[in-house]
Amino acid sequence: MRNPVLQVCRWTAYGQRTSTRKRYCLQQQARNFQSGTDQNTKTLPLDGLKVLDLSRVLAGPFCTQILADYGAQVIKVEQPGAGDETRQWRTAGEGQKWRPEHKYMSLYFAAVNRNKRSVTVNLKDPKGLEIVKALARQSDVVLNNFLPGKMEQLGLGYEDLKRDNEGLIYASCSGYGASGPSRDRAGYDAIALAEAGLLHITGDEHGGPTKPGVAMADLCTGLYMHGAILAALDQRHRTGLGSKIEGSLFESGLSLLINVGLAALNLDLDKGPEKRRRGKRLGLGHPNLVPYGAYKTKDGMLFVAANNNRQWKGFCQRMGIKGLAEDERFSTNDGRVENRDEINSILQRKFAEKTQREWLDAFEGSGLPYGSINDVVDALEHPQAKARDMVIDINQFEAAKDGMLKLIGPAMKFEGASMNVRIEPPLLGQHTDQVLNELGYPVSEIEELRRLEIV
């Protein structure tokens, strides 16, 4: 078992070039960990970690918001006078939510940029680049989602920044990765999903490809990247060395193929009458399990599943269909998969006999997977969502006309640590003066940088 003291030791962000590579240990926290004291004031696990966020739109900001929720200090660098383009990605009717003077704010931006400070810097100006380099020298992590090679052109590549910060974790997200024939193509979520085969397998069995309701390639890339960053930080704790991480929307999409991808790689699916079965769309069904999907009741829809033969017997009992579990065609999962259409037809007729509420009551306490298909409002108002603090209320949000903003809370909680919003989704450049002051810039120089539109 790893020594718990090492879990609260951190290499300095400055990466001092010494033969011993001295560790900076949070000794008081280590003592508290060992003694079990200070439990009522437990800090978040990434408290003190400094992250410089040079990304925009979704994958990168989602990644850094997760790190920020876990306690990291995140500085988001944005373009003066414009900012992250998602600041202006408003849904229909959203304009009435915001004060007219706050045109650079949207719910899309607010969804993935809490707990960050916003700094505006012109990366096309040498003085602006110096500001970013100064921030990078003080950072544990730098993340960007520029096209491969662009950061190097700006003098902000990994080799450039690690000269002054040996322990730097340098993370890059792009559309297709830093090598290969598509490296120079811009990355867009739906295009990545299309080229990775995911749109082909998503949608109704008898319809065309369907895009998921949210940007899955972007979100999964952000999730993957945050995990890779934490792994790199753990490695740095042990070695003192930083690292460069690369990820892409396309690679994330391919990784999500999972069992469908392995079937395509390992089975001879190009022969026989079901040649196109590889990657076949099944709507809400599952390629490996039956029953698994949505069925119409008298007044709604219900999603149910039976993941093994034991559950199948319990499922049939709750459904009240005599003899179905013992039918040789359906008694094993292999048989049910082979006879998918027939069994789904039998189940659909039965589900249509009762209301959604009646079926929910029938499955209550069964231990079987089941649930109603909620719309977004019903989901966010679900009693379980409230019990788990999955909706956060901000009551004095400057950009909103009524001062109110609701956010979706963090999916993960840490026992004893508060997951409250520390910093509201920032206004464009809201913290520029504060951050520059921390870097040692006097007020007069900050004013001059603003006059020159560098910040």
Q: Which residues are catalytic?
A: 218
- Please report the sign of the dihedral spanned by the C-alpha atoms of residue 352, residue 355, residue 356, residue 362: negative
Q: Are 136 and 161 in contact (CB under 8 A)?
A: yes
Compute the C-alpha angle 297/302/303, nearest 5°: 145
What's the CA gap between 333 and 288, in Å, rounded? Answer: 8
Helix, strand or coil, per DSSP, at residue 345: helix
Q: Are 245 and 228 in contact (CB under 8 A)?
A: yes
Q: Where are the alpha helices (DSSP H) in 158-248?
A: 158-162, 189-195, 216-239
Nearest Cα to Cα of residue 391 among 401, 381, 404: 381
> Measured in whole angstroms, how far is the alpha carbon of residue 141 from the centre of its chain?
17
Q: Which bin fits 314, alpha (ψ -120 to 50), beta or left (φ > 0)?
A: alpha
Q: Are 250 and 174 in contact (CB under 8 A)?
A: no
Compute the C-alpha angle 452/454/455, nearest 5°: 115
User: 203, exposed or middle or buried, with CB in 10 Å at 0-12, 13-18, 19+?
Assistant: middle
**Rg value, the chain, Cα:** 26
Task: Give helix 59-69 / helix 216-239 axis angle, nearest 10°.
Answer: 50
What's the CA gap between 201 and 205, in Å, rounded? Answer: 9
Q: What is the DSSP letter of 354?
A: S
Going by their DSSP bridges, the two strands 301-305 and 370-372 should be labelled as antiparallel
Q: Where are the alpha helices (DSSP H) in 70-215?
A: 107-111, 126-137, 150-153, 158-162, 189-195
Q: Which bin fits 230, alpha (ψ -120 to 50), beta or left (φ > 0)?
A: alpha
Helix, strand or coil, per DSSP, at residue 111: helix
